[in-house]
Amino acid sequence: MLAHARSAHAHAHNAQRQGRAKLAPRRRAAQPARATAQPPSASSAAAPSSEITSTSTTATPPPRQQKQSRYATSPLPGPSSGTSASDPVDLVIVGCGPAGLAAAAAAGKRGLRVVLVDPEPDKPWPNNYGVWLDEFDELGLSHTMRKVWKSARVVFEAPDCTDGEGRPDAVLRRPYGQVDRIKLKAELIAQCKEYGVACVAAKADAVDHDSYSPNVSALKISGTAAENLPYDAIYARSVLDATGHSRRLVEFDQEFTPGYQAAYGILAKVKSHPFPLDEMLFMDWSDTHLDNSPQWKEINRRIPTFLYVMPFDEQTIFLEETSLVARPALDFDDLKEKLDIRLAHLGVEVLDVEEVEYCLIPMGGVMPTLPQRTLGLGGTAGMVHPSTGFMVSKTIKSAATLADSLAVSLKRDSPAAQDEMSTSVWNSIWTPADIRQRSFMCFGMETLMQLDVRGIREFFSTFFELQDKYWAGFLSWRLPPFALIQLGLSLFKGFTNTMRLEFVSSALPFMPSFIVNFANGGNTFKSEPWMGAGADHVLEGKSSSKRREALNRNGYVDGVGPIPSCVPVSTTTAAAATTTSDAIDIEAGPSFSGMREDWDWVRFQQSKALPTQAPLADQLPEPKSTSSDVIVVGCGPAGLALAAAMGRQGLSVTVVGPDAPFTNNYGVWYDEFEELGLAHTLEHVYDRARIWIDDNDDAAGRVLDRTYAQVDRKALREELIAQCLSSGNVSYVNALVDTIKPETSDESGMETGRSVVIMDDVPAGGNDDDEATSSTPAKPEPCVANVICMATGHNRELLKYEEGPPPGWQTAYGIEIRLKDHPFPKTDVVFMDFRQSDPEPSDGDMGALPTAWRVPSFLYTLPKLSDPDVVFVEETCLVARVQVPFDELRRRLLRRLTRMGIDVNSVEVLEEEASWIPLGGTLPKVPQRYLAYGAAAGFVHPASGYSITHSLSRADSVAAAVARGLRDTGAGDMRERSQLAVTEGWEELWGYEKRRQMGFYQFGMELIMSLRLPQLRNFFDAFFRLDRESWVGFLSHRLSGVGLLMFAFQTFLIADLDLRVRLVSHLASQSGAGQRLFEAYAKPLTDMLSGTEAADESHSSRPAMISPPSQVSASIDEDDDGIIVRKEPPQPSASSVFSNEQNAQALDGLPPGFQAADWWRVGVRDAPAAYGSPEAGGYWWSDGSVMRSPINGQQLPNSAAAEPTDMPGSYGFDPLGVGNDTDLQTLRQSELLHGRWAMLAVLGVILPETGSLLSGADTTQFHWWAPYG
């Protein structure tokens, strides 16, 4: 594909990942048959082949195990110098990928003493490299080619295309080949050995340029292999970072915001294929294969992908679906599904998949800080072609340039020699002309991301019609600045007028940054439109449809949500990301432009490496059999607690999930953990928790009479694992669940009552600084169990949920910092501090949305009792209708710290945390075939976010209910007992009392969501003035349904008038909170009236000691086939819902972190599909011809869609086509609905006046002309 020398990031799962609707699942790449794992896994050509010959271009691929075979050449010798500051080597290189070995060989050839550092220098490269043959000829490496095709073809439209423009294919008469990666590595290592290059098998931790003599740097090393070495550093006169996209040592002074090239490919044996063997398919942009999938075709129209093919023989072929560049990257699941559809259309039947490739390449973005003492080469130095993904040829060529400059510079011997050397070397590999080329390419990349499939086709059709010297030179970094201008003008000249207009509109926002950098050869090209200024105003100036299109082109898809990037990209360290004050304007109003994807933050949190927590697979045994009583999916706190409880019941339990540490910091009330017998797992216990409601509070704050604690996540994990072991019945499989389905009898084909769990393997991880890791674990065998229980956290892929409103969102951004004499309490927790909050917008600040307000957030701190200089500080949004982005919370935290007098540039950051919790929302459908537990079962407290104590405390009761059902011999055969166990479990989870509690908590959550900062302060002032039993019971799930009503009544009594009015009005608000509260409390009555309480007759013979299920329906839905596929979830994932809502908020013109008066409708107006069906959205909708009811989807009276000329005030004069906007139909129907409601408002005027006249009471506070607020 276009990314010939690509370096891909592929990632292992460390938790059962969140999914989304089938068309855009938010997941990292699960790699079922993968021969590469962890960064990078390039795939411009994944198919191996034999050497090229002059008589044949057909080659036989090597055996499939070749990718796993170890590199056979002996390792390089260890260093004889460089182990002390008095005897430094000339160059130490971190990384043994192509960049590192090429630089080492080139430097050694020039007489320099070189040491390579890599954790596994002899590990094979997983990357497959595709290059133009002439490039490797120039480098003298053509003998390392594995296969060459004499030409490459670009297809723009399929022959059967009916809506295209008849563009002919482009045939590129430039030989294209695949590199034999084993030969290339062998060649470079042989050169290194010849020139005396040494190597150390160790991990590079840090580089110290300042602690030794001015001309000596120390590279600190560690790792298993390094433990036996007599030294812990390599000393050198220069240090080179060649760690690829991990950017281990090189520093960046700006946020790294690349585009991403993503691809999914397979090396396969096929029955036959239609591709000629002497020509590779470089690009195929056709989309007729999607004609029967209109949603896919629409997505492909906006974010097009192409097919890339390398045929090896009549049956062996490499096929890949590629997204050229997007921000964020497309998901591998999407690319895989599109490839499957394409192959079916081509009639290609895959017989066997020999290799699977997952490719993700960061392209463009800012370059490293130039110059700097640490040198860079390859991906870490920005050498990936920003418009195509090419890299390896330029990297190897630049290695020679770097070595030449370094050899000359090291001859100098002066106090400033190292600074002069680094400046000289950086200037040699990044000349002003080179930087101008890169700026031109970045400009091209940003423009390409704005084009739809029609624009992409015309662009490349015109591009490949240019003279060979232009298109080939552009792809190979060979064009000087003047030739680049000629290329641009020639392109523009060749475009049609329509394309010229689209190209200009797409390129214009990036033109200022391009012109500035191209003119002065600068390194500050910005990926943000208009150099990061005014992007929101640009969008606001477009019509709704145009604004939506603009957002979609940057990664959003209507009804599906943003397509996530697969790697959280940040600056080099958490400290840099957090404490660089000039990286973010902490006083400026928030904007969606330039914000990092929230999903990147979530995955960053989930992907933390915590080496102190031993792998689960090393502690829990593997299952002795594929059959067990219970399978628990998920190995977080909820999953392990439930598994241990099931084991104590004597049930055999298999835990399935990725082997991951506990990454979240948990704050709990001490008395709750003490009751559970888990006080020994607490790291810090705080006698006092303090709150500050507003700026008028006493300096010491208000003290809550309840002890608070921070959980030691390592100790808690070890305790839960120990409980699992002590039961003697718990085993573990490190895998991802792919499919769950009922087991059927081989003889009768009838269901047995057990369920089969089919699993994917979890790809092996690797070191961040290692350019290659390999080996893929064997795919686990399917497991069978009587009961399946999902403890998968906030994931929704494996369960079915009720329809209803989406959840609220609690988000928090925190950092653990070391700061001497910090101003926070040293021994007390700050539970809530609303002081120093961002001010509310002034009148007029919100423009067309004057009723909007900033969603409140507060400060939360946990001091480290063992170190008075360490404290965890966090900015928390308790709950919001639309998720407050992490970048906005980060801005608020830095602003708050700055206003407290803390220099954010002076603090040392020890850990960074991004907490993401969906609150409330709909519960799982009850009953269904598979149980849920923990957050997956709705255990998160909707009004506070607490869940861990609730999950740990209910494990025993749920396990006992399941065990009762499985052991009930009076229930019949195993099929009936399994169903009974599940039904008993669901009744224990969500009986009437639990539903009443949840209904009340959700009512409270939605009340909090509706409050502005002053009103929220008022609420918490009243809340914490309640008696201790009430507020403690509310936060700890201890109040019964009746107790919660008493709690509400007590709150009403002590609240002021404003809060009372809001409580009452919230019961009747349009959000429907009051209705849902009433339904929760009235459910026993409604179930009785509807007859759902009647138990199935099959339960009548059960022993009296086991009561029949009376609070859930007695049998599982007969229409439920029981098949759950993780990649095809029953409803949109939580991640896609919050993405849709943020998209809708942007379309409404609301900045991130703000809410409007109709907060409950966000995400419904513009994306009703986000909640499963238009009817479920709670707002009117239209199918294009009539208006439909939000309740049952029936046609509203007199609602036939009118033509513009049929509407009042329309006389047919509409030259701008405003009347074609369907929003006019929206406004017309809304006016009718609102007008009718306004008629009822007359009662709000008459009744208070009448009451005042009749009773003589003073009701002036309720007068309609004196509104509250």
> Residue 18: which residues within 8 A CB-CB, separation 6 or more?
26, 27, 602, 794, 795, 796, 797, 1133, 1134, 1135
92 pairs with which residues across the strands? 115, 239
Give the three-state DSSP class for 827. Answer: coil
Contact of 154 with 174, CB cutoff 8 Å = no
Q: What pLDDT, on a 0 to 100 scale, did the predictor assign at position 405?
A: 92
CA distance 410 to 403: 10
> Residue 121: which residues within 8 A CB-CB, separation 6 or more?
75, 76, 96, 199, 201
For strand 653-656 and strand 730-733, is the pairing parallel, antiparallel, or unpaired?
parallel
Give the three-state DSSP class for 179. Answer: strand
Name the amino acid, one letter, at 1217. Answer: G
DSSP string, 1017-1070: HHHHHHHTTS-HHHHHHHHTT---HHHHHHHHHHHHHHS-HHHHHHHHHHHT-T
Q: What pLDDT, on a 0 to 100 scale, did the predictor assign at position 1070?
A: 67
Nearest to 391 by CA among 359, 425, 358: 359
- Residue that the structure tokens 């991403």 belong to: 260
Tokens, residue 130: 């595709």
Give the three-state DSSP class for 877. Answer: strand
Give the three-state DSSP class for 509. Answer: helix
CA distance 303 to 558: 12
Nearest to 1023 by CA among 957, 943, 960: 943
- Residue that the structure tokens 């598979």 belong to: 930
Give the three-state DSSP class for 296. Answer: helix
CA dist list (Å): 395 to 131, 390, 400, 739: 12, 10, 9, 43
CA angle 675, 681, 687 (to 5 degrees): 70
Q: Which of 1052-1064 are b and which e, b meaning 16 or more Cβ less than 10 Å from the residue's Cβ?
A: eeebeeebbbbbe
Is the bond preceding residue 371 a cis peptide, omega within 30 degrees?
yes
Q: What is the C-alpha end-to-end distance of the chain, expressed in Å? A: 60
Q: What pLDDT, on a 0 to 100 scale, did the predictor assign at position 249?
A: 87
Those residues of the chain that have pLDDT short of 50 are 1-74, 533-582, 764-777, 847-848, 1092-1110, 1112-1114, 1163-1206, 1211, 1221-1222, 1262, 1264-1269
CA distance 1077 to 1072: 9
Q: pLDDT tens digit string along 1196-1250?
A: 444 443 344 445 555 455 555 555 544 555 566 667 777 767 776 776 667 666 6
CA dist list (Å): 67 to 36, 71, 74, 309: 8, 10, 18, 19
Q: What is the dihedral of CA 995, 998, 1000, 1005, to 10 degrees?
A: -160
- Residue that the structure tokens 């933390």 belong to: 608
Q: What pLDDT, on a 0 to 100 scale, did the predictor assign at position 1225?
A: 56
Backbone phi, then psi, for 184, in 5-degree steps? -65, -45
CA dist list (Å): 86 to 82, 237, 555, 701, 710: 8, 11, 54, 57, 47
> Residue 533: which residues within 8 A CB-CB, separation 6 or more?
none
Rg over alpha carbons for the chain, rounded to the nearest Å, is 32
Q: What pLDDT, on a 0 to 100 scale, did the predictor assign at position 1150?
A: 78
Contact of 1110 with 1095, CB cutoff 8 Å = yes
